[in-house]
Amino acid sequence: MPKHSPSTLNPRSPLVLDTRDLPRRPGALRTVKRVAPAPADLGVELIGVPEGADLDLDLRLESVSEGVLVSGTISGPVRGECGRCLRQINDSVVVNIQELYAYENSTTDDTTDEDEVGRMQGDLIDLEPALRDAVVLTLPTNPLCREDCPGLCPECGVHWDDLPVDHSHQQIDPRWAGLSQLNRTEE
């Protein structure tokens, strides 16, 4: 069974890095700065990078003996919903990338699993899986519009920010019920 599936990467795809001009000599360096549109579904359930939004890639590609080490940052806008009050969140995220992509048929390629170390496809590197992993790890699973968001009143669904401090749906304590009755008869 062939170990590698045939290359399906498009060298012109903005999240594919082409290393043809990076010498395969350990220590050789190249930087990649570009803006790429975010792929679909980049994020977690309540928050993520909108599809097509600008991702700023600021990466360093370094030849190592067995492949190419990609490191740097990718940043972009995120949009989501507060887990407590459902208000829209507009924020940004910066993820750090540090990933080794092994040359095809290198010792690293032969001795590691696909999920341990990335793989090059010829001269191409598919950055998307590492980007997805990094974004998912960085984004909060329970995003908040602000750290101390009080959320919504469970009874009426109004944001606590918009309610008076003494807002309450509590029934009148039975011990006081008689008293209010009394007040009424006095009127």
**Chain residues in the site for Zn ion (CB under 5 A):** 82, 84-85, 87, 145, 149, 153, 155-156
For the CB of residue 170, give the shortest distance to Zn ion in the complex, in Å.
Answer: 10
CB nearer to Zn ion: pick between 4 and 146: 146
Long-range contact set of residues 103-106: C-beta below 8 Å, sequence gap at least 24: 103/24, 103/66, 103/67, 103/68, 104/4, 106/66, 106/67
State the number of CA atoms in the 13 A half-sphere of 56 facing the CB.
Answer: 9
CB nearer to Zn ion: pick between 87 and 132: 87
Q: Among 87, 74, 80, 15, which Cα is nearest to 49's?
A: 80
CB nearer to Zn ion: pick between 78 and 102: 78
Tokens 């590609």 correspond to: 61
For the CB of residue 150, give the shortest distance to Zn ion in the complex, in Å.
Answer: 8
For the CB of residue 98, give the shortest distance to Zn ion in the complex, in Å.
Answer: 33
CB nearer to Zn ion: pick between 22 and 153: 153
CB nearer to Zn ion: pick between 156 and 165: 156
For the CB of residue 80, give the shortest distance to Zn ion in the complex, in Å.
Answer: 11
Distance of CA 135 to the CA centre of its chain: 3
The encoded tokens of residue 64 equal: 């190592």
d(CA 167, CA 159): 11
For the CB of residue 10, give the shortest distance to Zn ion in the complex, in Å.
Answer: 40
